[in-house]
């Protein structure tokens, strides 16, 4: 269960982990904190122990009593103001400003250390804090807390009542019994109970919409009722287990009487602007200085996730079709090991296919109501990529499904994401619909109409996806197109137009086959401003049988992109049999690994084995 807990948290907070200070490229302390009336930082702590190892402790989410005490002292010294849930609520509903440098201190799971280590520190400094309680854990209705913290290491209701009397401790729901994973696919992955449609092996199907929604509402209502019965409180707040929450589950919580919720994530939000707030997760026993860096990062950089460098590998899920699940796992293990060795950090998966090669999409690789499902492959692939090799995953759907095959793309996207809430975003493959836009700086009426149609479809799919996607993931989208012409004068105006609607513009080209296209791209990229460059993704179609000269050309061209400040680059149409050549020739250009000491060549060490 501990491994499961780590995997569940990892999928929700891959981009929000606290890192050692040495991993920051710049010093965020140089930047002044923007003082906004409703702005606050929320920090998430778990267990607090006296014996936490400085590095490599058995519990990556624990912090030492010493480090926590030093952090509390630092807060006082630097003039930070710990606030209460009520302060956030009043800022939200009554527009009551928060104090400057507002910080909400939260402790999850009801570990005994909240009483015997955290509570004394709160009294010493006079700080308020919030404790998120999974009520079934306190009532002894599950073995999960013992597996997480050991026997006898969970608070009692009497201890919480004592804390409550001090006026410093607030308590909120952490669900009743959803702090665990449930079966999420035929391949038996366990995923967060609050946002997962449970897979039912006996029927080889998933729980119905009504069953899922009722299960979540009933659980949250019970949690709220138990907290009222034991502590006499009418909490309005849920802290989602593993930070796993969608817009859908947010509404379900509201039905249960919990209108304010907290996830995990890296986007700083204002108290009066959203229903679910993101929290920075404390990990790896950080010092006060490390926590300070994360707080500043949360306030200054985290509002611009588009600035993150990304390295893409695009892969067609049709290559994963297998006669049975064990055979599928062998292929999946090979893919993940290759990608992990390459150290790219984003996978782009084609999730529908044209199996009869008639030019029309005829199958999908996820449950849906409009296309036949060839095999249920997407969920496990996404989950394994996220938890095993820490790769974000985007799904690719072609616009032609709606424009030519008259399939409701927004509805298809809803089906995709509701069964794959860990998807990072959607790539909408636009075919030649935007060719007129990227070729010409000025657009005629016909071209303008095409652009409007594409953006309309994209906005509808995005709205559906964001309803079902995990809020902690900061869902993103892109318009994808292949380019093979000499004229790209419309790149800048297209970015200017699409940035109002899309997060990214994704261009795919072959610089060997079409050197004039790459030349035109270089010219146009040089005219982009910093923000436009950050919103552009470029992937190369790589020849699997490229000559030595051509490999060197790919290397040079990737380096040219990076010199032009294009920090999102990748490989289009990756195939397993290309892995060795890609590793040998393009590792330096594509890898997100900044430590040469951790490099390994899997083709030399013979470790290309399946992942279970």
- The predicted-structure confidence for 542-581, as pLDDT tens digits, reads as follows 998 899 999 999 999 999 999 999 999 999 999 999 999 9
Write down which residue in 277, 300, 323 finishes a domain: 300
User: For residue range 41-68, what is the model confidence (pLDDT) as tens digits?
Assistant: 999 999 999 999 888 888 899 999 999 9
Extended strands (E) in 267-321: 276-277, 280-281, 310-316
Q: State pTM to two decimals.
A: 0.88
Give pLDDT, residue 515: 96
pLDDT over threshold 70, residue 418:
yes
- Of 266, 300, 334, the residue at which a domain comes to its end is 300
Phi and psi at residue 490, to the nearest 5°: -90, 5
Query: What six digits make up the tokens of 459?
Result: 């906005």
Asked if 80 contacts 98 with a C-beta cutoff of 8 angstroms, the reply is no
CATH number for the domain spanning 138: value is 3.20.20.370
Please check whether residue 401 is in contact with residue 409, taking contact to mean a CB–CB distance below 8 angstroms.
yes
Q: Is residue 266 part of a domain?
A: yes
- When pLDDT is averaged across residues 81-88 and rounded to a whole number, the result is 96
Q: Are residues 237 and 343 in the same domain?
A: no
Instruction: Check whether residue 455 and residue 597 sit in a common domain.
Output: yes
Query: Model confidence at 35, in pLDDT bands (50, 70, 90)?
Result: low
| Number of separate domains in the chain | 2
Higher pLDDT: 452 or 592? It is: 452
| pLDDT given for residue 16 in this prediction | 37
Residue 25: per-residue pLDDT: 32
Lowest mean pLDDT among 292-301, 526-535, 583-592: 292-301
Phi-psi region of 518 (alpha: psi -120 to 50; beta: other; left: phi over 0): alpha
266 and 402 inside one domain:
no
pLDDT value for 28: 35
Q: Check which CATH number belongs to the domain holding 562 and give it.
A: 3.20.20.80
Look at residue 156 in the predicted model and tell me its pLDDT. 96
| pLDDT at res. 569 | 97
Task: Decide: residue 440, CB within 10 A, 0-12 exposed, 13-18 middle, 19+ buried.
Answer: middle
Pair (208, 352) in one structural domain: no
466 lies in a domain?
yes
Domain match, 285 and 311 both: no
**pLDDT tens digits, one per residue of 205-240:** 999 999 999 999 999 999 999 999 999 999 999 999
Q: Pick the range with the lowest mean pLDDT from 6-10, 103-107, 144-148.
A: 6-10
Long-range contacts (CB closer than 8 Å, 24 or more residues apart) made by 370-377: 370/407, 370/408, 370/411, 370/412, 370/415, 371/407, 371/412, 374/318, 374/321, 375/320, 375/321, 375/322, 375/328, 376/185, 376/186, 377/317, 377/320, 377/321, 377/328
Residues 215 and 288 in one domain: yes
- Give CA–CA dist 478/469, Å, rounded: 16
* Residue 193: pLDDT band with limits 50, 70, 90: very high
Do 314 and 291 lie in one domain? The reply is no
Considering the domain architecture, whether residues 563 and 596 belong to the same structural domain is answered as yes
Average pLDDT of every residue of the chain: 89
| 124: pLDDT strictly greater than 50 | yes
Provide the domain limits for residue 53.
Answer: 2-26+35-300
Q: What is the pLDDT of residue 605?
A: 54
- The model's pLDDT over 596-610, given as tens digits with 9 standing for 90+, comes to 666 667 777 544 444
Residue 476's pLDDT is what? Answer: 87
- List pLDDT tens digits, range 317-347: 999 999 999 999 999 999 999 999 999 999 9
Does residue 179 share a domain with residue 208? yes
Q: Domain check: are 355 and 236 in the same one?
A: no
Per-residue pLDDT, 498: 80
**Residue 263 belongs to some domain of the structure:** yes
Residue 612, in any domain of the structure: no
Domain termination residue (choose one: 268, 300, 332): 300
Q: Which region, left, alpha or beta, applies to residue 175 given φ > 0 means left and ψ of -120 to 50 means alpha?
A: left
611 in a domain, yes or no? no
The reply to whether 181 and 280 lie within a common domain is: yes
| Alpha helices in 390-444, H assignment, sequence order | 400-403, 409-418, 435-439
For range 406-412, the mean pLDDT: 97
Taking each continuous run of H as one helix and of E as one strand, the counts in the chain are 23, 25
Residues 99 and 169 in one domain: yes
């Amino acid at each position: 269960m501990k491994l499961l807990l780590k995997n569940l948290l990892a999928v929700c907070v891959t981009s929000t982990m606290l890192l050692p200070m040495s991993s920051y490229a710049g010093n965020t302390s140089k930047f002044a904190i923007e003082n906004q009336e409703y702005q606050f930082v929320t920090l998430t702590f778990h267990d607090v122990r006296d014996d936490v190892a400085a590095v490599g402790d058995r519990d990556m989410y624990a912090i030492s009593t010493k480090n926590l005490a030093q952090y509390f002292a630092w807060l006082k010294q630097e003039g930070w103001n710990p606030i209460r849930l009520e302060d956030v609520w009043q800022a939200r509903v009554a527009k009551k400003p928060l104090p400057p440098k507002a910080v909400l201190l939260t402790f999850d799971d009801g570990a005994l250390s909240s009483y015997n280590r955290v509570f004394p520190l709160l009294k010493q400094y006079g700080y308020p804090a919030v404790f998120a309680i999974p009520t079934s854990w306190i009532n002894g209705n599950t073995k999960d807390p013992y597996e997480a913290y050991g026997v006898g290491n969970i608070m009692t209701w009497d201890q919480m009542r004592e804390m409550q009397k001090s006026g410093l401790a607030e308590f909120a729901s952490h669900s009743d019994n959803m702090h665990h994973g449930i079966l999420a696919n035929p391949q038996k992955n366990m995923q967060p109970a609050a946002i997962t449609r449970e897979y039912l092996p006996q029927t080889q199907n998933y729980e119905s919409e009504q069953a899922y929604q009722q299960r979540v509402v009933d659980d949250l209502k019970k949690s709220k009722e138990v907290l009222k019965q034991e502590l006499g409180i009418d909490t309005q707040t849920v802290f989602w287990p593993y930070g796993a929450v969608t817009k859908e589950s947010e509404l379900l919580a509201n039905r249960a009487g919990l209108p304010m919720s907290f996830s995990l994530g890296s986007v700083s939000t204002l108290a009066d602007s959203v229903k679910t707030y993101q929290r920075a997760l404390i990990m790896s026993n950080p010092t006060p200085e490390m926590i300070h860096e994360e707080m500043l990062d949360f306030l200054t950089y985290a509002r611009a996730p588009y600035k993150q460098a990304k390295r893409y590998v695009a892969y067609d899920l049709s290559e994963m079709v297998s006669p049975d699940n064990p055979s599928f796992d062998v292929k999946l293990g090979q893919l993940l090991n290759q990608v992990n060795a390459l150290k790219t950090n984003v996978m782009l998966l084609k999730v529908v296919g044209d199996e009869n090669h008639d030019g029309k999409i005829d199958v999908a690789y996820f449950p849906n109501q409009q296309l036949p499902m060839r095999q249920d492959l997407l969920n496990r692939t996404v989950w394994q990529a996220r938890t095993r090799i820490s790769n974000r995953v985007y799904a690719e759907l072609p616009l032609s499904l709606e424009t030519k095959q008259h399939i409701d793309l927004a509805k298809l996207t809803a089906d995709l994401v509701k069964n794959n809430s860990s998807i990072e975003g959607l790539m909408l493959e636009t075919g030649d619909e935007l060719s007129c836009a990227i070729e010409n700086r000025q657009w005629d009426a016909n071209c303008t109409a095409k652009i409007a149609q594409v953006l309309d479809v994209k906005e509808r799919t995005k709205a559906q996806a964001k309803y079902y996607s995990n809020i902690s993931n900061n869902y993103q989208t892109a318009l994808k197109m292949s380019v093979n012409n000499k004229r790209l004068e419309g790149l800048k105006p297209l970015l200017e137009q699409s940035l109002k609607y899309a997060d990214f513009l994704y261009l795919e080209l072959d610089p060997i086959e079409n050197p004039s296209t790459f030349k035109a791209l270089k010219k146009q990229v040089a005219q982009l401003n910093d923000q436009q460059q950050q919103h552009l993704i470029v992937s190369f179609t790589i020849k699997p049988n490229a000559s030595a000269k051509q490999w060197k050309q790919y290397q040079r061209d990737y380096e040219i992109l990076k010199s032009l400040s294009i920090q999102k680059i990748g490989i289009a149409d990756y195939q397993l049999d290309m892995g060795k050549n890609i590793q040998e020739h393009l590792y330096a250009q594509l890898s997100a690994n900044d430590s040469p000491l951790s490099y390994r060549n899997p083709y030399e060490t013979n470790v290309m084995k399946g992942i279970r």
